[in-house]
Chain A
């Protein structure tokens, strides 16, 4: 029994008896083909995405130390990538190339602030993008909001984190609500 030119869908040779098996073979091949098309279609049109945020404020007491934001709310999660009860500082993504954005609201509570920074990094220790601002501010005025967006290559399942840092005196720095970490997948790590 030969198959079609490109995909090998089976059909009977001319002269062969066309019986139930002939139909079953072709139907099974079409069935498998439809399943593979659905898999690729889902990758094209159902991109995994998640967004987590903070209700209330976040405190970073130590000047110059880069700390991971602790999140309290899931805005959306289409691929079961968030479990704040276990790890409240990350979105755990499967392999792929991901667009990531981390935004932090302004902070107050410091005596002086000379520098502030937000960063996207992963649980493997890779740093994927950061944005900073600096100015001599006194009297506890706030910095921000801040935002950084970047592209991440994940060759394996990895946690994506949003981190923040301030430099100055006084404190602790109290970051207002509205901090958010968002991801969506741009493509697979390898061609499909």
Chain B
């Protein structure tokens, strides 16, 4: 039995005794194994891990001024999962642990629509901040290190007297080791006249962009 030069498919040599059925079986199983691997690789690329949630009703009137506030708490009770490929969504798109811990490049995005509950403080700032706390040390090393790196992205918008303000922020980051990256999406504002409300139409998403190496 000989093998093809690249993919190592078996075929009978000239002096082999010749068992057509067995030769075909061995060839078929070799093709089967190669194709299973190929399909798995392709599906891993096509079936990109992803979470997408939308706010389908206004959040509670709880975002106080001048303090960072968790986005999920700001929309408590109103977030609706649109897609969650991991199947373990605990209504927290910002915890990558549910995405699996596969190293790779990821993108986190937030669109926040906000309005003061009562009084508009004209020209006051509103901010959304995204943070990724990424393990950057090899967990296979003993003793286990626990070094992390912080990646952060931020958007500021000033209210103009209209009230409703729409803000967008995205953060891309890479994870090198199979450990949990903790993500935070937060909002703050200086509308001291009253608390802020997160409005219906707000969106959060997290998905795997691709491999960190090839």
Contacts of B162 in A (CB 8 A): 114-115, 134, 167
Assess whether A65 is interfacial by the CB under 8 Å rule: no
Q: A15-23, A52-60, A73-81, A175-183: which one contacts chain B?
A: A15-23
Contacts A40-B39, A97-B83, A153-B82 given; indicate if A11 touches B25 (C-beta within 8 A).
Answer: yes
A19: nearest chain-B partner, CB-CB? B20
Contacts of B109 in A (CB 8 A): 149-151
Contacts A37-B35, A40-B39 given; indicate if A131 touches B24 (C-beta within 8 A).
Answer: no
Q: Tell me, rounded to whole Å, the shortest Cβ–Cβ distance linking A65 to chain B.
A: 14
**Inter-chain contact A136/B160, CB cutoff 8 Å:** yes
**Inter-chain contact A131/B20, CB cutoff 8 Å:** no
Contacts A40-B42, A40-B43, A131-B168 given; indicate if A14 touches B21 (C-beta within 8 A).
Answer: yes
Interface centre among B48, B111, B159, B164, by most chain A C-beta atoms within 10 angstroms, is B111
**Inter-chain contact A127/B166, CB cutoff 8 Å:** no
**Chain A 33-62, CB within 8 Å of chain B: the 1/0 string?**
100110011011000000000000000000
Contacts of A135 in B (CB 8 A): 158, 160
Q: Tell me, rounded to whole Å, the shortest Cβ–Cβ distance linking A152 to chain B.
A: 8
Contacts of B33 in A (CB 8 A): 5-6
Contacts of A130 in B (CB 8 A): 111, 113, 166, 168, 201
**Inter-chain contact A151/B207, CB cutoff 8 Å:** yes
Contacts A129-B168, A134-B162 given; indicate if A26 touches B47 (C-beta within 8 A).
Answer: no
Bound: A12/B82 CA distance, A = 48
**Inter-chain contact B42/A132, CB cutoff 8 Å:** no
Q: Tell me, rounded to whole Å, the shortest Cβ–Cβ distance linking B145 to chain A.
A: 34
Q: State the interface size on chain B (CB cutoff 8 A).
A: 47
Contacts A18-B20, A26-B28 given; indicate if A187 touches B170 (C-beta within 8 A).
Answer: no
Assess whether B45 is interfacial by the CB under 8 Å rule: yes
Bound: A173/B40 CA distance, A = 53
Bound: A30/B45 CA distance, A = 23
**Chain B 154-182, CB within 8 Å of chain A: the 1/0 string?**
00011111101111101000000000000
Q: Tell me, rounded to whole Å, the shortest Cβ–Cβ distance linking B197 to chain A.
A: 16
Interface size class of A (residues with CB under 8 A): 35 or more
Assess whether A4 is interfacial by the CB under 8 Å rule: yes
Assess whether B3 is interfacial by the CB under 8 Å rule: no
Bound: A4/B26 CA distance, A = 9
**Chain A 157-192, CB within 8 Å of chain B: the 1/0 string?**
000000000010000000000000000001111011
Assess whether B46 is interfacial by the CB under 8 Å rule: yes
Bound: A129/B19 CA distance, A = 65
**Inter-chain contact B111/A129, CB cutoff 8 Å:** yes
**Inter-chain contact B24/A18, CB cutoff 8 Å:** yes
Q: Tell me, rounded to whole Å, the shortest Cβ–Cβ distance linking B56 to chain A.
A: 10
Q: Tell me, rounded to whole Å, the shortest Cβ–Cβ distance linking A181 to chain B.
A: 16
Contacts of A87 in B (CB 8 A): none
**Chain A 106-150, CB within 8 Å of chain B: the 1/0 string?**
000000001101010000000111111111100000000000111
Q: A33-B31, A130-B166, A134-B162 given. 16 additional CB < 8 A pairs? A: A4-B25, A15-B21, A33-B35, A36-B39, A37-B38, A40-B39, A40-B42, A97-B207, A128-B54, A129-B203, A132-B164, A134-B159, A148-B166, A150-B109, A151-B50, A187-B47
Q: Considering the complex of A and B, which 9 residue pairs feature the smallest CB-CB distances, nearest first?
A: A134-B160, A18-B20, A4-B32, A130-B166, A132-B166, A151-B205, A12-B21, A187-B48, A129-B111
Interface residues of B (CB under 8 A from A): 19-22, 24-25, 27-29, 31-33, 35-36, 38-39, 42-43, 45-48, 50, 52, 54, 82-83, 85, 109, 111, 113, 157-162, 164-168, 170, 201, 203, 205, 207
